[in-house]
Structure 1
Amino acid sequence: MKLHEYQAKQVFADAGIPTPPSQLAETVDEAVDAADEIGYPVAIKAQVQVGGRGKAGGIKLVDDADEAREAADEILGMDLKGYHVDKVLVEGAVDFTNELYVGVTMDRGEGQPVAMVSTRGGVNIEEVAAEDPDAIAREHIDPSFGMHPFQARKAVYNAGVDQEVAGDVASVLQTLYELWTEKDGSDAEINPLMVTSDDEVIAADAVMNIDGDALFRHPDLAEMQDEAAEDELEAKANDYGFDYVRLEGNVGIIGNGAGLVMTTLDLVDYYGGEPANFLDIGGGAKAERVTNALDMVFSDENVDAVVFNIFGGITRGDEVAKGINEALEQFDEIPKPVVVRLAGTNAAEGMDILNTDLVEVEKTLEDAVQHTVELAEEVNQ
């Protein structure tokens, strides 16, 4: 479960991590009243669970009530990368001199939690990791013992954080790890952790993702789930009983089996595309289930083309083909181009059944993915 920024900040503040004064608002008038009470300048921030809000116009810094009203009116109700904005966080602006990054997640390669610190906060940390991995200091933690204070200090020192605030940053990092452990977190991060001219550190953003299977241990967090405004597509996936994760690309992916879908995602990336989702329809999928899967992917406005990758074991290729035909025959015009690859049980029968006026067929997974990436690129040209 993903917490919204305002929810994560409350969790952080309750644990002693400094955060700016803030109020949640659902109307323009509420946003202006909150800004007046907090005192200008303030930031008005869209509360949607997606990265890059600032670049997409979802965060605005304002200096007076007129600007606050205009900004809130623009942000509330906007479509931000496919997410409808119905809440904003009105937050006191921080006069900062530096922006840091601190985070905790699981390093699956090492089989241990890892704490991370960087002096290059305020930007996409994934880009920093790809372009300059040495800019992020990492400290692996033995979960049997937890994070020792010296490990937090070591990570901060290795990151090159200024000595004046190193102790406070280390304290924030250790608290973040303790929260990650206590709350059964999958990810916890602050980006940016701002340093003020008075050498104070303040969490200007907050990310906290919780293992949904552990929510029974955290009734206080479970109560936030309804407020977290689950993405409409992910809610629909729950209704359909799919394993689904929404991503930020434009190539829709449907497959049967987590490994097969992950392989397809990797190939989309390999051929220069960006996956829009992870969607596993599971084994033994009948025609209705396939129809539901296509309905989901077509509902994602970010998707420009769809690759359907099925390897039949329990799942029969002819049933999948029937589902694809049934789904696509409902449309006067196919909303997105669909490329299909069938293999395994009854694949030949499925290939015979497929309506090639509605889909394009490729024999190999590599050809199917490459063709889909090309189709998605053509839409954006």
Structure 2
Amino acid sequence: MARLLEHDAKAILAARGIPVPRGQAVSSPEEARRAAVALGRPVVVKALVPVGKRGKSGAVRLAADPEAAGEAAAALLGREVGGFPVERVLVEEAVPVAGERYLAIVLDADGRTVRVLAGREGGIEVEELARREGGIASLELAPCEGLMPFHARQLWRSAGVRGPALPRLGQLTAALHRTFIELEAELLEINPLAETAAGELVATGAVVALDEAALFRQPELAERVVSGPAWRPPTALERQVAAINAAEPYRGSARYLELEGGDIAFLCGGGGASLLLFDALLRAGGRPANYAEIGGNPTEMKVAALARVVLSKPGVRGLFVAHNLTNNTQVDVLARGVVQALCEAGRLPPDFPVVARETGVNEAEGRAIFEAAGVRWLGEEVTLSEAARIMVQAMRERYGESDGDPARP
């Protein structure tokens, strides 16, 4: 899931007419103090990390004056919250709250629907709301179906909300749904959605999570994504692969997850088959250094770029390239990209063990390219599990018995 930091999420909402508190992202206590002076009222200082339950971990602090804001920022900056280092904090005005609601729009990938969730109480975890009888009302929409304000008002009535706030809630919910569709999001959440004594609605807490596969259509947002599938800060190598995809979004897709330790660079494809190959490496006693997947008819340039990243991780001493069956990924293109990266890195067999188990489009041409570079070629007559065993055996023959526990994702 591609998640944005809160100040970016709120900027998106504000640009689409959804009220948010005035605030500023800062990276030092002095900047926090100046931001509080500019706001001219008590502020909330929040650690800018893409995790929930920040309040429970002490990562959200109320500051009555600028000096307190600076002190709160000093206490938060440099900390680690949910595995993420706090490099910036959000200093925003404290909104006088008369009541709090919960509002979210989420993509239900299994049901292929969009679900709108409304809760008459906010400021608490959605799991807690769901446990309360009538705590959350839900409306299911088709992915391309619109949401009119009067439909949204009916949803809020189902959640037990009455009174003069209903028209505003209907308008805001419809605006949030339009934003969800425009961004091709997986989740938009406002928690809490504050209601002031004057009846105004303000998104004091906001989460925006985008569809990674659609980021190439949102280039201005792709640069702001701070977390991916591992739900931890992306490593330098993972950021490189994200940049590779962003630079050439229309041909193929590359994924890379760096693992702790490991000495076998792993470049695969095929979804379920790639997971089977990964498990087979572990069962054979191998230590994968990463999980990298490429598919969707990539260019030679994209294959080579991913292979360079895979080979660049410190400690890598061999390469396993494998697919169960390529259909839209051409084996010769794959081979040229991989061999190019191997030559550039100066890592060629027999000094650097490389095994390729491939079958599919342009297989004969791909085999010739791999074998000309000294790569051990395996075809469809070799099972995936046997190919993994052969890779591990090649490592042992070159370096001796491997020791240590296999790396696990």
Compute the TM-score of the two structures, normalised by the length of structure 1.
0.65
**Partner residue, 1:53:** 54
Partner AA of 1:226 in structure 2 = E
3-state SS, counterpart of residue 123 of structure 2: coil
Partner AA of 1:82 in structure 2 = G
Partner AA of 1:13 in structure 2 = A
8 Å CA contact retained: 2:3, 2:226: no
Partner AA of 1:189 in structure 2 = E
CA distance in 1, matches of 2:181, 2:14: 16
**Partner residue, 1:178:** 178
Shift of 1:238: 3.2
Partner AA of 1:238 in structure 2 = A
**Partner residue, 1:9:** 10
Q: 1:279 to 1:347 in 2, by over 3 A?
A: closer
8 Å CA contact retained: 1:312, 1:346: no
Q: Deviations over 1:187-211 (max 9, x none)?
A: 2111111122333221001222334
CA distance in 2, matches of 1:44, 1:97: 20
8 Å CA contact retained: 1:103, 1:188: yes
Shift of 1:77: 2.6
For residues 293-308 of structure 1, what are the structure 2 equivalents within 5 Å? none
Shift of 1:184: 2.4
CA distance in 2, matches of 1:54, 1:112: 31
**Partner residue, 2:223:** 226
For residues 198-277 of structure 1, what are the structure 2 equivalents within 5 Å? 198-215=198-215, 217-218=217-218, 222-228=219-225, 231-233=233-235, 234-238=238-242, 243=255, 259-260=271-272
CA distance in 2, matches of 1:19, 1:9: 6
Shift of 1:16: 1.7
8 Å CA contact retained: 1:255, 1:261: no
**Partner residue, 1:20:** 21
8 Å CA contact retained: 1:40, 1:62: no
**Partner residue, 1:364:** none
For residues 109-188 of structure 1, what are the structure 2 equivalents within 5 Å? 109-126=110-127, 128-129=129-130, 131=131, 135-188=135-188
**Partner residue, 2:230:** none
Identity, % of aligned pairs?
29
Shift of 1:23: 2.0
Partner AA of 2:184 in structure 1 = D
3-state SS, counterpart of residue 96 of structure 1: coil
Shift of 1:57: 2.8
**Structure number with larger C-alpha Rg:** 2
8 Å CA contact retained: 2:216, 2:222: no
**Partner residue, 2:45:** 44
CA distance in 2, matches of 1:295, 1:159: 55
3-state SS, counterpart of residue 223 of structure 2: helix
Partner AA of 1:148 in structure 2 = M
Shift of 1:27: 2.0
Point out where structure 1 has 5 or more consecutive residues left out of the alignment: 247-253, 265-277, 297-309, 316-321, 324-341, 362-367, 374-381
Q: Deviations over 1:80-113 (max 9, x none)?
A: 2232222221111122233221111222233221
Give RMSD over aligned pairs: 4.3
CA distance in 2, matches of 1:155, 1:279: 43
CA distance in 2, matches of 1:229, 1:239: 13
Give 2:385's match in structure 1, choosing from 333, 336, 344. 344
CA distance in 2, matches of 1:23, 1:128: 30
8 Å CA contact retained: 1:46, 1:87: yes
CA distance in 2, matches of 1:172, 1:29: 35
CA distance in 2, matches of 1:133, 1:312: 49
Q: Deviations over 1:194-233 (max 9, x none)?
A: 1223332210012223345545555xxx335435556432
Segment of structure 1 superposing worse, 254-263 or 68-77: 254-263
Q: 1:290 to 1:6 in 2, by over 3 A?
A: closer
Shift of 1:119: 2.7
Point out where structure 2 has 5 or more consecutive residues left out of the alignment: 228-232, 246-253, 259-265, 277-289, 296-302, 327-352, 355-382
Shift of 1:147: 0.9
Q: What count of residue pairs does the alignment treat as equivalent?
A: 309
3-state SS, counterpart of residue 188 of structure 1: strand
CA distance in 2, matches of 1:119, 1:354: 60
8 Å CA contact retained: 1:194, 1:203: yes
Q: 1:49 to 1:294 in 2, by over 3 A?
A: farther
CA distance in 1, matches of 2:244, 2:155: 44
Shift of 1:281: 4.1
Q: Deviations over 1:252-276 (max 9, x none)?
A: xx99657549989xxxxxxxxxxxx
8 Å CA contact retained: 1:100, 1:191: yes
3-state SS, counterpart of residue 344 of structure 1: helix
3-state SS, counterpart of residue 209 of structure 2: strand
Segment of structure 1 superposing worse, 67-76 or 196-205: 196-205
3-state SS, counterpart of residue 98 of structure 2: strand
Partner AA of 1:84 in structure 2 = P
CA distance in 1, matches of 2:127, 2:141: 21
8 Å CA contact retained: 1:100, 1:120: yes
8 Å CA contact retained: 1:312, 1:345: no
CA distance in 2, matches of 1:107, 1:14: 26
**Partner residue, 1:330:** none
CA distance in 1, matches of 2:70, 2:211: 37
3-state SS, counterpart of residue 91 of structure 2: strand
Compute the TM-score of the two structures, normalised by the length of structure 2.
0.61
